[in-house]
Structure 1
Amino acid sequence: MKIVSLASVRGAPGVTTAALLLASTLPEAAVVEADLVGGVLAVRYGLGREPGLTTFAAGGPDAAWRAHAQDAGGVPVLVGPDAPGASELMWRSAGERITHKLVAADGVAVVDAGRFHSPVPIVSASDLLAILVNPVADQLVALTHLLPTLRQATRGRLGVVIVGDGPYRAVEVERSVEVPVIGALPDDRDAAEALLYGGSRSRLARSRLARAVSALGIELSSSVLAPAGAVVA
């Protein structure tokens, strides 16, 4: 699988919502919960704690991720433990095994890494680590302080996704943090609530947020997810 990880450095810029929507735009994609403070998808969507990452980790080396995925509003998800201690223990003890099996599989893993604390193996294996940030001073300063750790945390590209409005434009963010801005998402709370509470899928599809995430998916498909040597029209 290609690995695209989404994370934040401060606040709640909508990492989980963006991960779900992004996975819905990509072929053969699944959301993988890797937030060390615990996953939320099982609770939000009334799913079981199993199957999920714990059963996937316990399976054999050839276990298919699809057999351990559940449906969250039409998106396959590999749910993680919802308790902070259990989530951290799982990723520390079985993270390398989970990551190896996912990297060897087909498709795309959209990793919900939550607020970045310390790297877990799946984030380190990312083809892209995208940091969602509101374009305001405190979040940009926090991102700047964390950049050395972020650069060391992943083998792949590092990018910024701007969420919502603020005093700083994309060009100013790039100049400030010296990381490319790869997309911009609106602060569309109505669309986020429709995704969270099972609102109209057609209304959600027409939302500014869904359209912006779709554009981000197209950009990633051509710049990050395309096979090596592929020519993208």
Structure 2
Amino acid sequence: MALVALASAKGSPGVTTASLVFGALWPRQVLLAECDPAGSDVAIRMTGPGGAPLNSDRGLVSLAAASRKGLGDEVILAHSQQLDGGLDVMLGVRSPEQVGGMGGLWHPLGISFNQMQHGDVLADCGRIGASSPQLPVVQSARLIVLVCTATGSSVAHLRERLSSLVHHVDAQLGVVVVADPRRRDGVKQVWSVLDAMSVTVRHRWHLAFDPAGAAFFDGRGQGRLDKTQLIRSATDIVGEMAALVATPEQHEFDMAQAAFPQHEEWGQ
């Protein structure tokens, strides 16, 4: 199947919410993986089946301890769990201090996510930059989607990150602008900025800024989720994203090399 990485250039303006929404609507089997080194939000915001709390000790950190023998589907899924509603998730680190215990997991994890037979993987990578430890996951993705708002500062960081990112990835690039549905002029301005860049970003989407809809993914929703602007705007986006990564790719994969890769610095 395929790995889709979602990230932001500065902060995380809706990346986790967008990842949860896209995962809930994804047309195929999918795993949502929290790869944000800043710490897990899903364990705080969401619950397991029947409202039971999620196990914050089961996720990337426990996977790192069990990954010496490889990272096949069974190993990855053994350290995942299910949200109320059925979405499979792999919880991220509880705090930034736990990132040090991940060792060299990021590189083989990205490769394994992109080759899972179980289904697609949506990776919430949070903020990415030149020294971000989760960059190998981003670099392994079939589709990289940067999430931004229509504000000047957010677009400026988006432009800077795209200019740097394009030299270090071999993937399709997309941008999701989170903006009020009535602010189509602001979204068009973002597209104008992208058009003026030398970086080609063919895939562009407008996700509705909708606090009422987003509340459902923070344990506070009321009413009908399917009627919210968030879900209505996300449905078409998910259909297009899933279609973009539907074509399988062939890889030669060495599990030993994946388990103990040589360290590569960003930009080398």
TM-score with structure 2 length normalisation? 0.76
Moved over 4 A (4+): none
Shift of 1:198: 5.2
Gaps of 5+ in 2: 47-52, 250-268
- Which of 135, 139, 143 is equivalent to 2:158? 143
Tell me the amino acid that sits aligned with residue 55 of structure 2. Answer: G
2:126 corresponds to 1:114: yes
Aligned ranges for residues 48-59 of structure 1 at < 5 Å? 48-57=55-64, 58-59=66-67
**What corresponds to 2:17 in structure 1?**
17
Q: Deviations over 1:6-28 (max 9, x none)?
A: 11123442100110111122211
Compared with structure 1, are the counterparts of its residues 168 and 209 closer, same or farther at alpha carbon in structure 2 (3 Å cutoff)?
closer
Identity rate of aligned residues, in percent? Answer: 27
Give the stretch that moved more between structures: 100-109 or 53-62: 53-62
Compared with structure 1, are the counterparts of its residues 173 and 135 closer, same or farther at alpha carbon in structure 2 (3 Å cutoff)?
farther
Residue aligned with 1:199, SS: coil
Residue aligned with 1:152, SS: coil
Compared with structure 1, are the counterparts of its residues 183 and 190 closer, same or farther at alpha carbon in structure 2 (3 Å cutoff)?
same
Is the CA contact 2:61–2:101 (under 8 Å) kept in the aligned structure 1?
Answer: no
Aligned ranges for residues 1-233 of structure 1 at < 5 Å? 1-26=1-26, 27-45=28-46, 46-57=53-64, 58-59=66-67, 60-61=69-70, 62-64=72-74, 65-74=76-85, 75-87=87-99, 89-90=101-102, 92-106=103-117, 107-117=119-129, 118=132, 119-165=134-180, 167-169=186-188, 171-177=191-197, 178=199, 179-197=201-219, 199-200=221-222, 203-227=224-248
Shift of 1:43: 2.3
Compared with structure 1, are the counterparts of its residues 152 and 37 closer, same or farther at alpha carbon in structure 2 (3 Å cutoff)?
farther
Shift of 1:63: 4.9
Compared with structure 1, are the counterparts of its residues 104 and 11 closer, same or farther at alpha carbon in structure 2 (3 Å cutoff)?
closer
Tell me the amino acid that sits aligned with residue 223 of structure 1. Answer: L
Residue aligned with 1:93, SS: coil
* Mapped partners of 2:168, 2:35: distance in 1: 14
Shift of 1:56: 2.8
Q: Deviations over 1:100-150 (max 9, x none)?
A: 332332211101011223352211101111011112221111122222322
Compared with structure 1, are the counterparts of its residues 94 and 171 closer, same or farther at alpha carbon in structure 2 (3 Å cutoff)?
closer
* Mapped partners of 1:89, 1:120: distance in 2: 16
Compared with structure 1, are the counterparts of its residues 110 and 71 closer, same or farther at alpha carbon in structure 2 (3 Å cutoff)?
same
Tell me the amino acid that sits aligned with residue 205 of structure 1. Answer: D
Give the stretch that moved more between structures: 13-22 or 205-214: 205-214
Is the CA contact 2:214–2:221 (under 8 Å) kept in the aligned structure 1?
Answer: no
Is the CA contact 2:177–2:187 (under 8 Å) kept in the aligned structure 1?
Answer: no
| Bigger Rg, which one | 2
The two structures, once aligned, show a CA RMSD in angstroms of 2.2
* Mapped partners of 1:218, 1:88: distance in 2: 36
Gaps of 5+ in 1: 229-233
